[in-house]
Amino acid sequence: MNAIVRLGPAELTLIEQLKNLGAHAEAERLTAAGLPTRRVESYHYTDLKALLRSVPELGTAGGAGAPHFDIPGTWRVAIVNGAIGSPIGAPHGVTAGTVSGSVLTERDDMLVRLNSALTQQSLSLEISGDIAEPLVIDRQFAGEAAHVATGAKIFVADGAKVTIVEVYSGSEAAHLGNHATYLAIGKGAEVTHITLNLMDKAATHFATNEYLISESARLRTLAIQAGGALSRTQLLPRYVGKGAYADITGLSLVGDGQHADITMDAQHAVPNTSSKPLFKSIARGRSKAVVQGRLVVARDAQKTDAKLMAQGLMLSDEAEILTKPELEIYADDVVCGHGSTCGRLDDDHLFYLMARGIDKITAETMLVRAFLAALVDPIENQSLKAALTGVIDGWLENA
Amino acid sequence: MTTPMLEIRNLHVRIEEREILKGVNLVVPKGEVHAIMGRNGSGKSTLSYVLAGKEDYEVTEGEVLLDGVNILEMEPSERAVAGLFLAFQYPIEIPGVATMTFLKAALNAQRKARGEVEISTPDFMRAVKESGKQLNIDSEMLKRALNVGFSGGEKKRAEILQMALLKPKMCILDETDSGLDIDALQVVSNGVNSLRDGERAMLVITHYQRLLNHIVPDVVHVFSDGRVVESGGKELALELEAKGYADFDSAAA
Ligand SMILES: Nc1ncnc2c1ncn2[C@@H]1O[C@H](COP(=O)(O)OP(=O)(O)OP(=O)(O)O)[C@@H](O)[C@H]1O
Ligand SMILES: [Mg+2]
């Protein structure tokens, strides 16, 4: 760390912003280390120093915040440019409020640090019972390009059942969002957590989702990245109770000029937990999708059953899909593994469909949908499933 | 003379620099069923793929006319909506595509090409149920992904189900009999025969005379080394079965 770090305009702006908010320690760290480069292992494929060219001004509260993306039959709370709207009419069993500061557990990660230093106030949700209506946290950007850090702290009580959807969207501008969600799931609770990045093509989107999964709890996540020039979603599940189970899934849809990264770091801390992380990427044009998946199994976490799968579909010659699985296993009686596939649509499949009269575009769409079926099919709420299918179909049509 | 349903003129085809079809000439008039027999590797499936429009084949010479229209420049989907149907020797498994979704898409593609509106779901269900019943197809099977986990015989029956639904004017059946047990052969043959009429033409590729007892052809062609070397009545199939292909090889030379 003795070499002098040359700071770029993005870093200088960030340092300035940190100082203005009184986060002097973080400002000093950033001055000394700069943004992570490819030499930092977890940013190897997403070199922030090279990719983040500038940082817009810190956002100021504004805008009414009609949803850009509406899912019928849901309850919604908006966070516009970081300002948390007053949550009204929450369903029975949901207590909404705010907490000061940020929500993530301290961690040696630049995006987590920045989020923690910059977030002034976070949304808080406490959930108990069986909530039929999906809850939507709608994080929006309004007006000129803004830099916004947000947080949401969610506690799901023992035995509760809920679906939470987080939408990120905004005006046509080079916004920078750095978002955090801390989701603690009680014993035996069942949670579906969907995040949907629909940011403008010029925007930068960072999100970190930390999950604490208790005994016999079941979690299903789906992180969809469809917007933004540069996106990175960090998924940090921690399995802390026996029988905890999660399907951690993600999908990056990237087109010309987009770079999307999904990075998971899963910690299996106790015996008998299981997970089936599944990440899919579809890339077209000149684009890049990155999937990093790390499974860490503690010495005590015997009988861990974890299989990580990454599948990529390339629809152009200039597209790149990069996958890096990592297993760190300290227990001896576990079933852990990883696999990855990457390729194009199968010509024989395409021919078979076309030989029955289905035109090429329709046939390709059918095959892409088939590729994604394993991510979308398990979502129980039908109007939510339809909305997500709509996002995917919209992306496919706007080739 | 009326336009034949299928006319192949001096068709030469290569794969990766190797000539597989070496001047195929074949005419199938409307309403007729023709059989093609020939030894393994003689180019029968290649012919069927080239007719259906599969990529990777280079047509170096010749023409293929479907009901008078040259189809060689058409996409596979255009040929299909023009009325050509290939029942595959090896039907493809497509995970994630529901069989019913696929059938409906295929049927609607045909209707769209004819300027008709999309089929209603009840009408579609009825049509599938009817054809399925005739072919002894378990409706549970149709709830699965396309051809995925179907047995060899089930795949072949599913091909004929598609044919029955799409009602093509030119059917090409590539070894539809292989992998079928005796009862299934009867069922499938009945399915095929019920589609015979004065208009629809069929080209049935097979190794076994047995199939031709069920689906009785008007003409039998012997295929050898990439071309038709002999054509005759249905008794030609019996002759082939008795003598083997050797006698016909000399005719090719
Ligand atoms: N994609 C390919 N690349 C190279 N050679 C091929 C390809 N497809 C077919 N061939 C060759 O072309 C020849 C004809 O094959 P084809 O499948 O048409 O034979 P067939 O008459 O259908 O045989 P069978 O009775 O065994 O089904 C064979 O020698 C085969 O190896
Ligand atoms: Mg063959």
At A296-350, the pLDDT tens digits run 999 999 999 999 999 999 999 999 999 999 999 999 999 999 999 999 999 999 9
Unique residue bearing structure tokens 């506690």: A155
Task: Point out the residue among A349, A354, A374 whose CB comes nearest to the CB of B76.
Answer: A354
B42 lines ligand 1 (CB under 6 A): yes
Within a domain: residue A389? no
Q: pTM of this prediction?
A: 0.87
Q: Between 3.40.109.10, 3.40.50.300, 1.10.3720.10, 3.30.70.260, what CATH number should domain B6-252 receive?
A: 3.40.50.300
The residue-averaged pLDDT of B110-118 equals 92
CA gap A290, A260 in Å, rounded: 6
* Model confidence band, residue B147 (pLDDT cutoffs 50, 70, 90): very high
Q: Decide: A112 and A209 in contact? Cβ < 8 Å.
A: no
CA gap A349, A172 in Å, rounded: 38
Give the amino acid at A108: D
**CA-based diameter of chain A, in Å?**
66
**Secondary structure element (H or E) that encloses residue A337, with its range:** strand A335-343
Within a domain: residue A234? yes
CA gap A3, B29 in Å, rounded: 83
Within a domain: residue A311? yes
CB pairs under 8 A between A and B: 80
The whole-number pLDDT of residue A3 equals 67
Instruction: Return the higher-pLDDT residue of A354 and B178.
Output: A354
- % of chain A beyond a pLDDT of 70: 98
- % of chain A beyond a pLDDT of 90: 92
- What is the extent of the structural domain holding A295? 68-344
DSSP A58: B
Q: What is the pLDDT of residues A83-133, one digit of tens each?
A: 998 888 899 999 999 999 999 999 999 999 999 999 999 999 999 999 999
Overall domain count for chain A:
1
Tokens of B202: 């069929």
Task: Point out the residue among B76, B96, B145 whose CB comes nearest to the CB of A351.
Answer: B76
Q: Which of B49, B94, B103 is best to mutate for the A interface (most A CBs within 10 A)?
A: B94
Within a domain: residue A362? no
B240 Cα–ligand 1 center, Å: 21
Please check whether residue B92 touches A, CB under 8 A: yes
Q: What is the pLDDT of residues A45-74, one digit of tens each?
A: 999 999 999 999 999 876 666 778 889 999
Alpha helices in chain A (DSSP H): 9-20, 24-33, 48-51, 110-118, 347-354, 360-376, 382-397
Q: What is the pLDDT of residues A346-368, one digit of tens each?
A: 999 999 999 999 999 999 999 99
The whole-number pLDDT of residue B82 equals 97
B224 lines ligand 1 (CB under 6 A): no
Give the amino acid at B58: E
Query: Taking all residues of chain B, what is their mean pLDDT, rounded to a whole number?
Result: 93
B40 lines ligand 1 (CB under 6 A): yes
Quick check: B253 pLDDT over 70?
no
Q: What is the pLDDT of residues A2-48, one digit of tens each?
A: 567 899 999 999 999 999 999 999 999 999 999 999 999 999 999 99
The whole-number pLDDT of residue B245 equals 83
The whole-number pLDDT of residue A65 equals 63
Within a domain: residue A243? yes
Within a domain: residue A54? no
The whole-number pLDDT of residue A18 equals 97
In 3D space, the residue among A308, A309, A261 whose CA is nearest the CA of residue A283 turns out to be: A261
